[in-house]
Amino acid sequence: MHRNCRFAMLRGLLNGVKIMSNTLYALGIGVGTQNADGEWLEVFFPQPLLQPEPELQALLERIGYTGGNCDLPLSPQQMPELAAELKAAGQDALAQSVAALGDSVRPLVATVLAVDSAPETVPETYLKLQLLSHRLVKPHQTDLSGAFAVLRNVAWTSEGAIELAELPARQLQARLENRELEVSCVDKFPKMSNYVVPAGVRIAHTARVRLGAYLGEGTTIMHEGFVNFNAGTEGPGMIEGRISSGIMIGSGSDLGGGSSTMGTLSGGGNIVNTMGSGCLLGANAGVGIPLGDRCTVEAGLYITAGTKVCMLDAQGRAVETLKARELAGKSDLLFRRNSVTGTVECLTNRSAIELNEELHAHN
């Protein structure tokens, strides 16, 4: 029994999970990168499966699967037979990818998730991140707790992921061979586009969208837009601001240039912030509370949970003052700052935001 599977099996028994059930949570067969000590840095799963057919479990047992959440090392020699069995099981797309893995010079792995629990290995984490970016699950629909601690900080280069301690030697070797090793960033998360580009999106600066982002069809991410992992958009939408981890932006909503949404990783507390459909966050504005549908925050105004807001009636008269958290999730609100008094005001937003169809075309 593989070491990871054994621990996963024990963990499942302790949690009361039936290990050899007929339903698996997810499956990925992929190729990745390891450091000199054989530790995983990243894994690419070309065709991840959510809730794979029960018939695939018998196939997995033949390559060493005994239950639980685990990573099974594979060899290129196993790929032709595995691809044939996958094709026979009706998994044509996965079978084609697995057949191609037979020519790999990099390490191969099958990652099996019996249950949706916090990831404990790099392959498990990468499988869950790719489930998100493939639109198989939405933010908060899979357990990613502790994922940041599981992943290693690596150098993302023109030759792939490199362990930081091994980077100087690789840079020197490249120079000796009359080539240059470009380091694009040093981070735990790679850019999404190196693993998957979902259909019907535009991304002006791919480094600003992390793997694990969910981009709905019709989404445009402009140069200053940013989307973290476990966050994203329903689409369509124009994103010129920041979508922090955990934030989901509804359909037809726009984030203006330099705007920001406060997530739980950046001081938002335990509140899961979301933005409904048809909303507009003005340039350099920000929100730290959930917004309902058809809400507008004027340019330059940052609303946090404790912001004091003066409520206005239909005639523009002050009715009461309350904290913004009391308006969380409500629809049809317009937030603005009184240019004379500096007071943050809120009134009914009677004009729905209509997106420019030409800007959101992805033909």
Q: Identify the pLDDT of residue 109.
A: 98
For residue 87, pLDDT beyond 50: yes
Spatial separation of the C-alpha atoms in residues 128 and 143, rounded to whole Å? 8
CB of 358 within 8 A of CB of 237? no
Q: Identify the pLDDT of residue 14.
A: 41
> How does pLDDT run across 90-101, given as a tens digit for each residue?
899 999 999 999
Please tell me whether residue 290 adopts helix, strand or coil conformation.
coil
> How does pLDDT run across 8-17, given as a tens digit for each residue?
444 443 443 3
Spatial separation of the C-alpha atoms in residues 83 and 103, rounded to whole Å? 13
Architecture of domain 192-348: 3 Solenoid (2.160)
Q: Identify the pLDDT of residue 20.
A: 44
Q: Identify the pLDDT of residue 264.
A: 59
For residue 169, pLDDT beyond 80: yes
For residue 126, pLDDT beyond 60: yes
Q: Nearest 5 degrees, angle CA 228-CA 271-CA 335?
A: 90
**Is beta strand 49-50 parallel, antiparallel or unpaired with respect to 26-34?**
antiparallel
Q: Identify the pLDDT of residue 9.
A: 44
Locate all alpha helices (DSSP H) within the chain, ordered by sequence. Answer: 3-14, 55-61, 79-88, 92-100, 122-133, 147-150, 167-176
Query: E strand or H helix at 262, and its extent?
Result: none
Mean pLDDT across the stretch 62-87?
A: 94
Q: Identify the pLDDT of residue 172.
A: 97
Q: Where are the domains of the chain?
A: 3-150, 156-187, 192-348
> How does pLDDT run across 304-359, given as a tens digit for each residue?
999 999 999 888 889 899 999 999 999 999 999 999 999 999 998 664 344 444 44
User: Binning pLDDT at 50, 70 and 90, where does residue 40 land?
Assistant: very high
Please tell me whether residue 33 adopts helix, strand or coil conformation.
strand
Quickly name the fold that domain 3-150 has. Answer: Alpha-Beta Plaits (3.30.70)
Residues forming the active site: 240
